[in-house]
Homo-oligomer: A and B are copies of this chain.
């Protein structure tokens, strides 16, 4: 049974990662792919391997909407058909490069590795909130299976340990109430709601005082591992919609690179300070922990390793079960 559910939308890149009239090469679901930005503004996604001598087409040249191999000059169009042979013989039209449906939405480029006839863009999870000013959209590689990243994000209690310094949290998560729900879009929500707690350090300048607040951390998950975190803060006793600190929503979108590594797409405010905090939290704190878990499993299946299940795992486990159902359905 494949580790990857195929009939799903995955995010390949932020749109700014593909230069105008250029190509991006990226390993996705254990295969090498290129994404080309064509003159008409459309994107094309082709296997990054020439069918003649197997070299990366992305090292070649995009001329109009034809991708030319860097080795012997064969040219391929957006459909993957060989349309150009620089030598007198005609192009070998029976030769095709694999392609995948690709859609530009919410500042990301989304691909569908399954049956193209089922690739309905309406199934892309709603990340419309991503398209706002003043934000930097970034990507990093995490050396861990994508479901270990889901575990990380669907159980934010780890902030009280792994990120206790960087986030200036103060134990308020311990007193929160967890609820796991699902909604009509197929999302699973893992929600923490904290009432009448001391504000976290980072919010003090925004609040002006340390009077008790209500805080909520709501993580929304769509298969395979596309998450959105809503953080809210209101003075205790007021309506939650009357927030002193405006509610924030951030993307945490994970795409498998290989069985042991993942692309992590996130954003942060476009300031040096926010970039440094993201590096601290993701690169210095989360990455080594997830990589250590990946190494410890040493290729063993997560369930075969018989993990202890805690009540706080409820959301993460629900997401793992949903994926398992989807895998089984595709294998059947």
| B312 contacts A72, C-beta separation under 8 Å | yes
Report how many copies the assembly holds. Answer: 3
Tell me the complex Cα distance, A160–B293, Å. Answer: 47
Of B51, B71, B158, the contact of A158 (CB 8 Å cutoff): B71
CB neighbors of B among A86-117 (8 A): 86-89, 92, 95
- Across the interface, which residues of B come within 8 angstroms of A305, CB to CB? 54
Kindly supply a per-residue 1/0 record for chain A positions 190-202, scoring 1 wherever the CB is within 8 Å of any chain B CB and 0 otherwise. 0000000000000
| A87 contacts B312, C-beta separation under 8 Å | yes
Q: Is A289 an interface residue (CB 8 A)?
A: yes
Q: Which residue of B is nearest A313, CB measured?
A: B52
Q: Which residue of B is nearest A48, CB measured?
A: B296
| A289 contacts B72, C-beta separation under 8 Å | no
Q: Which residue of B is nearest A161, CB measured?
A: B73
Q: How many residues of A contact B (CB 8 A)?
A: 46
Q: Is A32 an interface residue (CB 8 A)?
A: yes
- Across the interface, which residues of B come within 8 angstroms of A307, CB to CB? 51-54
A197 → B minimal CB distance (Å): 15
| B89 contacts A56, C-beta separation under 8 Å | no
Q: Which residue of B is nearest A94, CB measured?
A: B308
CB neighbors of B among A61-79 (8 A): 68-74
Tell me the complex Cα distance, A307–B87, Å. Answer: 18
Of B68, B82, B151, B161, the contact of A308 (CB 8 Å cutoff): B82
A244 → B minimal CB distance (Å): 28
| A53 contacts B151, C-beta separation under 8 Å | yes
Q: Offer 5 A-B interface pairs, CB within 8 angstroms, sorted by A.
A: A53-B148, A70-B289, A72-B310, A86-B160, A95-B308
A303 → B minimal CB distance (Å): 12
A167 → B minimal CB distance (Å): 15
Tell me the complex Cα distance, A309–B53, Å. Answer: 9
- Across the interface, which residues of B come within 8 angstroms of A157, CB to CB? 72-73, 86-87
